[in-house]
Structure 1
Amino acid sequence: MPSLDTLLAFLGISVLITLAPGPDNLMVIGQSLAHGRRAGLAFGLGCAAGCVTHIAWATLGVAAVVRTSPGLFLGLKLAGAAWLLWLGIQALRSGGTLAPASGMPKHPWQRDLARGFVANALNPKVALFFLAFLPQFSDPAQGSLTLQMLALGLVFIAQTIVIFGSLALAAGSIGGLLSRHPQLGPWIDRLCGLLFVGLALRLAADD
């Protein structure tokens, strides 16, 4: 298992990485603003669950295969971009109804959970990030590299849940205030839609 010093260093860097503006935390904020904190929390949990697949890939070495196969990498990237684009189009076509003041969404939270999971799991750059990141904090002298990487992955997921949850709660509170002004609903959904479309184009265009 990694030493305590290693775990603390890994945790500190992971928090900074998760807080940096990126697709996942921006989408969590957007969902909370448009549909309430429960939607944002569910989406954030879905993103964290998506990290499980990337950690498993990195641990098993599958991500290395993706990195050395340009065709497979491109296919996964385009699939992820298409999914984000679809979410953006759905938001742009929405009726613009904000979540009620209580913060309860008008659609099942399971849908937001699944959306977050797919959006994260279909991003091959996240897999390659874990492939490059986890081994830097693993030491063969400390025992099984597989167990060390799994432990580090669990630490990363735990802090992701805390940070995404905090972002969802904060944005959801703002969304609750906005819900008292229904005329802002279409603009919030359009903003979220443009955010998803922009992230899709960014993912598709990135090398």
Structure 2
Amino acid sequence: MSIEVWLAFVAAATAMLVIPGPTILLVLGQSLGGGRRSTLPLVAGVAAGDFLAMSLSLAGLGALLAASATAYTVLKWCGAAYLIWLGIRMWRAPVEGAPAPLPPRRAGLQAFLVTATNPKGIAFFVAFVPQFLDATRPFLPQAVLLVITFVTLGATNALCYALLAGRLSGAIRRPGPRRVLNRTGGSLLIGAGLATALLGRRA
């Protein structure tokens, strides 16, 4: 893979990552509640989820999901239900006093599940990554480079959002603003879940 192709991949992946999706909405919401204590587990969960989804996609799972209506539908509905459940929890989160910190292990697990089970992300890997692979060169070194690059970019992006939310968490102490944030984030997560449920097989 030439340096020009790799830089093009970096630019395209960065442009895709900076647009907040379900994973970033989750990171923002839980960083506001848990503060800096939950930052590293959240980032680790995002990195692990991206690594699993992209690696399995390159290994052939993406082609299987694209060919199997049942496999795609099961994954889609599981991911949609999980996002909606998280959105409802965020909507109903208490706003009086300091929010209870999210246990680090649970924070990382939730970030991992949302990232790894997002069928739109898997479809993106299947359609997007092959454009940057050179068929005349060995597949494995290129795949490893692209996975490492994307996971690093995704983790860095999640870290930036988490740190920003952590700073806002200290500034937002009144119930009113926290209620607005909880309900906005919860509504967006629920909307993301519904959108995932309505995705077509080839989305």
**TM bucket by the smaller chain?**
0.7 to 0.9
Is 1:115 the counterpart of 2:103? The answer is no
CA contact (8 A) 2:50 2:154 kept: no
2:170 paired residue number: 176
Aligned length: 200
- Structure 2 residue identity aligned to 1:189: N
2:143 paired residue number: 149
- Structure 2 residue identity aligned to 1:199: A
Q: 2:196 aligns with which of 166, 190, 203?
A: 203
Shift of 1:39: 3.0
Q: CA RMSD in A?
A: 2.1
Shift of 1:88: 1.7
What percentage of aligned pairs have identical amino acids? Answer: 34
CA distance change for structure 1 residues 52 and 33 in 2, over 3 Å: closer, same or farther? same
Is 1:131 the counterpart of 2:126? The answer is yes
CA contact (8 A) 1:24 1:44 kept: no
Structure 1 length-normalised TM = 0.86
1:161 paired residue number: 155
Deviations 1:99-146 (A, max 9, x none): 57xxxx623122111001001111122112111222111113232x13
CA contact (8 A) 1:178 1:184 kept: yes
2:73 paired residue number: 74
Q: Distance in 1 between matches of 2:39 and 2:191?
A: 19
Shift of 1:41: 4.7
Paired residue secondary structure (2:136)? helix
CA distance change for structure 1 residues 29 and 98 in 2, over 3 Å: closer, same or farther? farther
Paired residue secondary structure (1:168)? helix
Q: Distance in 2 between matches of 1:164 and 1:186?
A: 23
CA contact (8 A) 1:55 1:153 kept: yes
2:33 paired residue number: 34
Instruction: Provide structure 1 residue ranges, at least 5 long, that are not aligned to the other structure.
Output: none
Deviations 1:35-78 (A, max 9, x none): 32443553343122111111221221121010011121111100
CA distance change for structure 1 residues 118 and 206 in 2, over 3 Å: closer, same or farther? same
1:93 paired residue number: 92
1:61 paired residue number: 60
CA distance change for structure 1 residues 37 and 98 in 2, over 3 Å: closer, same or farther? farther
Q: Distance in 2 between matches of 1:99 and 1:173?
A: 14
